[in-house]
Amino acid sequence: MPDPLATRQLTLRAAATGAVLGALLVPCNVYSGLKIGWSFNMSIAAALLSCGFWATARRVGGEDRIAHWGMLENNINQTCASSAASIISAGLVAPIPALAILTGQTLRWPVLSVWLFTVSLIGVLVGLSLRRQMLEVQKLPFPSGIATAETVREIYARGSEAASRVKHLLGAGAVAATTKLAGDFLIAIPQIGPALGLGRFGLSYLNLRNLGFVLDPSFLMIGFGAIVGVRVGWSMLLGAGIAWGVLAPWLYSSGRLPEPADPGVLVFGQAVEFLLWPGVTMIVTAALVSFFWSLPGLLQGFARSRKQTSTDKAETTAEEHSDADVAALGSDDLSWGWWLAGGFAIATLLATVTQVMIFGIALPMALLAIGLTFVLAIVAARVSGETGIPPIGALGKVTQLTFGLIHPTSVGVNLMTANVTGGAAGQCSDLLHDLKTGKLLGASVRAQAWAQVLGVLVGSMAGSAAYLVLVPDPAGMLLTEEWPAPAVATWKAVAELFRDGIDAAPSGALTASIIGGCIGTALAVVNQLLPQDKHRFCPSAVSIGLAFVIPAFNSISLFLGAMAAALATRVAPGWASRFILPIAAGFVAGESLAGVASALVALLTGS
């Protein structure tokens, strides 16, 4: 007979903990998304933080008064928190600010919250309808889900492990937050690097410092470097060298850009207007090539899955859920029931109405966007299940290209129809990773479904508030050295291309874009042809392109973080496997939350 405390799942405190952590963690992803275009999966961080909180609460309040924080309760918590934190895939750091820059349309908090919730709800429903096919029939790995399940099992198998990891996470977060707040409110922490001039190239006022080749006191980028790994790290360093060490000086020496009159003036804002063209083209072509390359395998996978017998499915289900809460799982048949069909009908209606009323998108266009979204969300789930990376950017570009050909002059149609696709794909992938975790832990699917919906609701409100606080003036604040917003630059460039044509680009941008597209295509093809164990030797085209649209010092910091994590793994592999991820997550969350706090103080004080 299972211990009732061990099988508690969707409790009030589990839902409340997940909602609170989700509301606290989503600003981290909004902040990092606007800084570098990436977000962090918050499942493991939420699981660790909840363990630390409830262990402390039991010691203070008494073990007889506060029940043990169970593993399945924690699973509900991480499901809700990660759902909230992943709300940025619904457009907060890409199409929504791009629309504000291009059209001046800035959504108020209630409207923005409704839009985010509506877009994400479609993804949740698609994820639920795909659960049996993806997890039980096709048995896709969903790597992030497996990693979360293994971490949760380990911290519950070894009681002291959770406390150790939480200490490292909170300690790293405190260091990053203190550094950020000290630099914002006490004394500016300078960037370190020599101001070596380029006089031999006829550039009197251009030097390595104003090109961005300095060490920046940002633990956020160090943390991301430790997370993404060496291949991405050295690829971004390579991209920074090409973009800011070669192309940027060439722009000034050739007279395409006027040389700054002051050697202390940073050139990022001026040079990025040109560099984003080859950089964005490289990112888009590499992502699309990788996406379309995977389609034959996806179709073959779907075909093979249909041939599997119902006996295989029954045996798999019985074997994998042998230790599960059978009573809970017995009521979890979430295939095409009447309520799921009803949910799709409601979500379709909401998404259609919001597109028409908020953005003035014609009804046929809105319905076409939703139809395309259902198809592409399924593709995203499959790709994410195999690789762990949801192709949100690539799918958004597919929709942008589709509607750019149908209705080329409207940036609103181009951006916001693609927003529906990307947002649904992101939330669908996040849910399936969480459901994979739940499957391995023996959790109730129905309980996780409610936790995911709660997370979407909380994330929509908290995420939109964080975005509006951080960037009250997107046109004036974004695409700058402070807020590079590379994802915004990518979506904006594609929309502008269809609206204005290539003639509106800077002189030489077309040639640079063709070269960038060829490089992105070639690297993506080579990466697909190489054996899996050789991928680390092929530079990442997406990472190189990203380095074109963010300051060079961000790429340098990210490279240093990746190398530090690799060195720690080589010297102390046991320690690194336990603590690298918590420390990196602490760096990301600490600086992000401090950055949000700084922005809020500035807003309240009017400074």
Range of lowest pLDDT (6-20, 263-277, 311-325): 311-325
Residue 569 tokens, joined: 């793994």
Residue 393 forms part of a structural domain: yes
Residue 168 tokens, joined: 């490292």
What string of DSSP letters covers 234-295?
Answer: HHHHHHHHHIIIIIHHHHHHTTSSPPPSSTTS--HHHHHHHHHHHHHHHHHHHHHHHHHHHH
Helix (H/G/I), strand (E/B), else coil: 360: coil
Helices (H), 62-158: 71-85, 95-103, 109-131, 143-157
Is residue 329 scored above 70 in pLDDT?
no
CA angle 338, 307, 144 (to 5 degrees): 70
Residue 427 forms part of a structural domain: yes
In single-letter form, the type of residue at position 336 comes to W
Helices (H), 308-410: 310-320, 326-329, 338-359, 363-387, 392-406
CA–CA separation, 138 vs 132, rounded Å? Answer: 9
> What is the predicted pLDDT for the residue at 493?
83
Under 8 Å between Cβ of 520 and 540: no
Residue 261 tokens, joined: 């009159």
Under 8 Å between Cβ of 399 and 413: no
Is residue 307 scored above 60 in pLDDT?
no
Residue 405 forms part of a structural domain: yes
Residue 529 forms part of a structural domain: no
Is residue 333 scored above 70 in pLDDT?
no
CA–CA separation, 596 vs 599, rounded Å? Answer: 5
Closest CA to 203 of 262, 266, 249: 249
Mean pLDDT of 276-293: 81
CA–CA separation, 179 vs 176, rounded Å? Answer: 5
**In this structure, what DSSP letter does residue 540 have?**
P
Strand pairing report for 197-198 and 203-207: antiparallel
Is residue 327 scored above 50 in pLDDT?
no
pLDDT tens-digit map of 464-517? 999 999 999 999 999 888 888 888 888 888 888 888 777 667 778 888 989 999
Residue 398 tokens, joined: 């597919």
Residue 161 forms part of a structural domain: yes
CA–CA separation, 117 vs 358, rounded Å? Answer: 14
CA–CA separation, 192 vs 186, rounded Å? Answer: 18
Under 8 Å between Cβ of 243 and 56: no
Mean pLDDT of 426-435: 89
> What is the predicted pLDDT for the residue at 229?
86
pLDDT tens-digit map of 205-215? 788 888 889 89
In single-letter form, the type of residue at position 283 comes to I
In single-letter form, the type of residue at position 172 comes to A
Question: Which residue's entry shows tokens 């990307």?
Answer: 422
> Which comes out higher in pLDDT, residue 492 or 330?
492
Question: Which residue's entry shows tokens 């991928």?
Answer: 535
Residue 173 forms part of a structural domain: yes
List 175's β-bridge partners, or say none.
none
CA–CA separation, 555 vs 533, rounded Å? Answer: 25
For residue 309, what are the CA distances in angstroms to 132, 303, 304, 332, 378? 14, 13, 11, 21, 22
> Which comes out higher in pLDDT, residue 405 or 304?
405
CA–CA separation, 50 vs 17, rounded Å? Answer: 7
Residue 263 tokens, joined: 């050697």
Residue 165 tokens, joined: 């990891």
Question: Which residue's entry shows tokens 């041939």?
Answer: 307
Banded model confidence at residue 244, pLDDT cuts 50, 70, 90: very high
Mean pLDDT of 26-42: 86
Mean pLDDT of 219-239: 90
Helices (H), 202-267: 208-211, 219-228, 230-242, 248-253
How far, in whole angstroms, is CA 156 from its chain's centroid? 28
CA–CA separation, 277 vs 457, rounded Å? Answer: 36
- Burial of 538 from C-beta contacts in 10 A (0-12 / 13-18 / 19+): middle
Under 8 Å between Cβ of 547 and 555: yes
Residue 210 forms part of a structural domain: no
Under 8 Å between Cβ of 486 and 543: no
> What is the predicted pLDDT for the residue at 5?
45
Highest averaged pLDDT of the listed ranges 11-20, 181-190, 405-414:
11-20
**Alpha carbon distance, N-terminus to C-terminus of the chain:** 61
CA–CA separation, 276 vs 264, rounded Å? Answer: 23
Under 8 Å between Cβ of 142 and 385: yes
Mean pLDDT of the chain: 83
> What is the predicted pLDDT for the residue at 500?
78
Under 8 Å between Cβ of 603 and 472: yes
CA–CA separation, 213 vs 140, rounded Å? Answer: 42
Residue 273 tokens, joined: 């207007």
Q: What percent of the chain has pLDDT over 90?
A: 33
Q: What percent of the chain has pLDDT over 70?
A: 88
In the chain, the number of structural domains is 1
CA–CA separation, 506 vs 488, rounded Å? Answer: 18
Helix (H) or strand (E) holding 543: helix 541-548
Helix (H) or strand (E) holding 436: helix 411-441
Residue 308 forms part of a structural domain: no
Mean pLDDT of 108-123: 94
Is residue 102 scored above 70 in pLDDT?
yes
pLDDT tens-digit map of 503-561? 667 778 888 989 999 999 999 899 888 887 787 888 988 889 888 988 899 999 999 99
Return the number of other C-beta atoms located less than 10 Å from residue 441's C-beta.
21
Residue 362 tokens, joined: 């014609």
Is residue 201 scored above 90 in pLDDT?
no
Range of the domain at 360: 12-182+343-493
